[in-house]
A and B are shown apart, each in its own frame.
Chain A
């Protein structure tokens, strides 16, 4: 069935070539301007003006942009690679990047990106085996949103004690939690893939735990630090609404939840959906003392050039232009859900004027970006599955860590030929 989709796609792509309808868009026209094919996920009216500026600054280059959807963008990219019709420049989520880089689909641009190195952050997210395969464009993280009114009604001062430590989070959530009245202390994620990880691991990271060792060769998941974090996460059950992210976000807008972990996408909808909501934003909670740091999950959008692109130089030029601070900010101001990878943006007037969004830029400095391991998604699945099993009390916290650890070890071993 999948082969079916793939081949169907390649047939579809072949037909215009046969009939000559799009004969000129193939790009083998050395005389005229070069056309760079660029696939990305943002709204066309957000990215369009930036591309127009690029074309004005670079008269020899035209950009043919295609907007992908988050629902099936990856399928389209995969089909295009299989059919050898991949674009020149493409936006890839950092969680996908590892697979594409490890599988050898991307161009090594280590040398050409030297000059960009100091201007952008999170190159780790664009690297594989010490080589650079992409340009960090925009980054995203998670932080804590809290309802100030509910804090005050529970007798707490939201400005003096934001819920950015474990004890403060627990205290505030306990005082706010009144499920009979339809008010919940905290929003705990479950019931969907690729989300729980981003909410649970910040607790573990803030407690000094991790999934893999620093060299990426060993599992360190079954640790005391992670066990403490998991036990804390499980203990939040009695003061939480356990739901999917969209439901948690919605409940927060309806002022039914005191504290949630969410993404900067809320800045886009909060003003319209909940104009009266008085909320604060703080970093992800850390345990008290021991110089613990408020760590969060970090992800990003990486601009990659496919290996077979004949327009590598022009594509690289476009990538550098898009990632430039002012251009990335132009996107982020509208999209809200991400922040520029360009360094020093927290000092920009825009973030000075918007403290909530500034918290996200600051949180990014201590965010943990998952390693670009080709099996990373499977490892993330292992962590999510076992943490969720512990949440539904199918296994103990100890057992969950042990089992997830074994799965991760097996994934690491499977790699050694």
Chain B
């Protein structure tokens, strides 16, 4: 086998740095963790021992895994619609001729350039019993609440923070999509007497479909991997109410040294994420064909 003539060996040379790093830092570790997921592996005790599907069988029987998956799904299903709709609205607003448009754009984008650890620390105090949120509530004469201490509100509080932090980033992507829509289409619609909302419904949304698909898939993958927020703010508590699958697999790996089981958890989560992404592609593609 040799490289086809029209690409030539120089193509390979230029691609090599990326191919090498991809191979070493992504492909090899992925393959390795797949193998480890079929083993019992505690590095202190020695090399991995093959145990077949035991880790996957254990996972199906592990109530904490199911709790973590349920929490993760709540997180995904709860944040994605809010983030997507929020980002779209922000993008539509920023796409108009607003005064101080640059300031608003920067303000919305700000959380994206701040580390999630920092955001989490800030919100940890924001939600604390003596924090800003309770201070506002008490000014309004409302009772305060220990937001991150109550199993019924902790996950929701983290989800809202995440929506706030993510909206700006996806709004910028929507904005790019909006600006790619030819202005003639709106002019034609205006000539035909189309109202503002009908223009959005019949022109903006259909033409944003590929942007939307991109955002949904990326955001879904990211949301399934929620970890930093949990690590910084709650460590899975109270009562496992914020225990997500990635936090759980981290706990198994580095508190219990069960790297084999942790890898199996990671691959199970991968399967769930892949499934969700395929559903999006399917649904949005079908709409496109209709």
Contacts and interface: CB of A to CB of B under 8 A. Distances in A.
A82 B43 contact: yes
Interface string A1-14: 11111111001000
A99 B257 contact: yes
Given A6-B43, A99-B44, A243 B129 contact: yes
B237 A104 contact: no
Interface of B: 24-25, 28-30, 32-33, 35-37, 41-45, 128-130, 146, 148-149, 151, 154, 234-240, 249-250, 253-257, 259, 262-263, 266
A190 B43 contact: no
Given A3-B259, A242-B149, A191 B238 contact: yes
Contacts of A105: 44
A81 B35 contact: no
Contacts of A256: 130
Interface of A: 1-8, 11, 74-75, 78-79, 81-82, 99-100, 103-105, 182, 190-193, 241-244, 247, 250-251, 254, 256, 377-378, 385, 388-389, 392, 394
B33 A1 contact: yes
**Residue of A3, A103, A250, A385 with most partner-chain B CB within 10 A:** A3
B127 to A, nearest CB: 10
A2 to B, nearest CB: 4
Nearest to B234: A191
Contacts of B35: 3
Given A2-B266, A247-B128, A392-B239, 9 more contacts: A1-B262, A2-B33, A3-B263, A8-B29, A79-B43, A99-B257, A105-B44, A243-B149, A247-B129
Contacts of B254: 2, 74-75, 78
B45 A242 contact: no
A8 B25 contact: yes
A251 B130 contact: yes
A190 B236 CA distance: 12
Given A192-B234, A244-B149, A388-B239, A103 B33 contact: no
B120 to A, nearest CB: 13
A69 B201 CA distance: 53
24 contacts: A1-B33, A1-B266, A2-B33, A2-B254, A2-B266, A3-B29, A3-B37, A4-B30, A5-B29, A6-B259, A75-B254, A78-B43, A78-B44, A78-B254, A81-B43, A190-B149, A193-B237, A243-B149, A244-B149, A247-B129, A250-B128, A385-B239, A388-B239, A389-B239
Q: Closest 10 CB pairs between A and B? A: A4-B29, A82-B43, A3-B33, A103-B44, A3-B36, A1-B266, A191-B238, A2-B253, A105-B44, A191-B237
A17 to B, nearest CB: 15
Contacts of A243: 128-129, 146, 149
A155 B32 CA distance: 66
A242 B130 contact: no
B42 A193 contact: no
A1 B249 contact: yes
A35 B148 CA distance: 47
B24 A11 contact: yes
B233 to A, nearest CB: 9
Given A2-B262, A192-B234, A378 B256 contact: yes
A256 B234 CA distance: 22
A183 to B, nearest CB: 12
Given A1-B33, A192-B234, A377 B256 contact: yes
Contacts of A99: 44, 257
B121 to A, nearest CB: 10
B227 to A, nearest CB: 10
A7 B48 CA distance: 13
Contacts of A244: 148-149
Contacts of A247: 128-130
Given A100-B44, A190-B237, A241 B32 contact: no
Contact of A250 (B32, B41, B130, B235): B130
A103 B42 contact: yes
B239 A104 contact: no
Nearest to A377: B255
A5 B33 CA distance: 9
A82 B35 CA distance: 16
Contact of B236 (A78, A104, A193, A378): A193
B29 A7 contact: yes
B44 A388 contact: no
A254 to B, nearest CB: 7
A77 to B, nearest CB: 9
Nearest to B41: A3
Contacts of B238: 190-191, 388, 392
Nearest to B266: A1
A244 B255 CA distance: 20
Determine which residue in B44, B238, B249, B253 has the highest number of CB atoms from chain A within 10 A of its CB, and name it. B44
In this complex, the member of A105, A247, A388, A394 whose beta carbon has the largest number of chain B beta carbons within 10 angstroms is A247
A116 to B, nearest CB: 25
A177 to B, nearest CB: 14
B277 to A, nearest CB: 17
Contacts of A3: 29, 32-33, 35-37, 41, 259, 263
Contacts of A4: 29-30, 32-33
Contacts of B255: 74, 377
Contacts of A251: 129-130
Contacts of B236: 193
A92 to B, nearest CB: 12
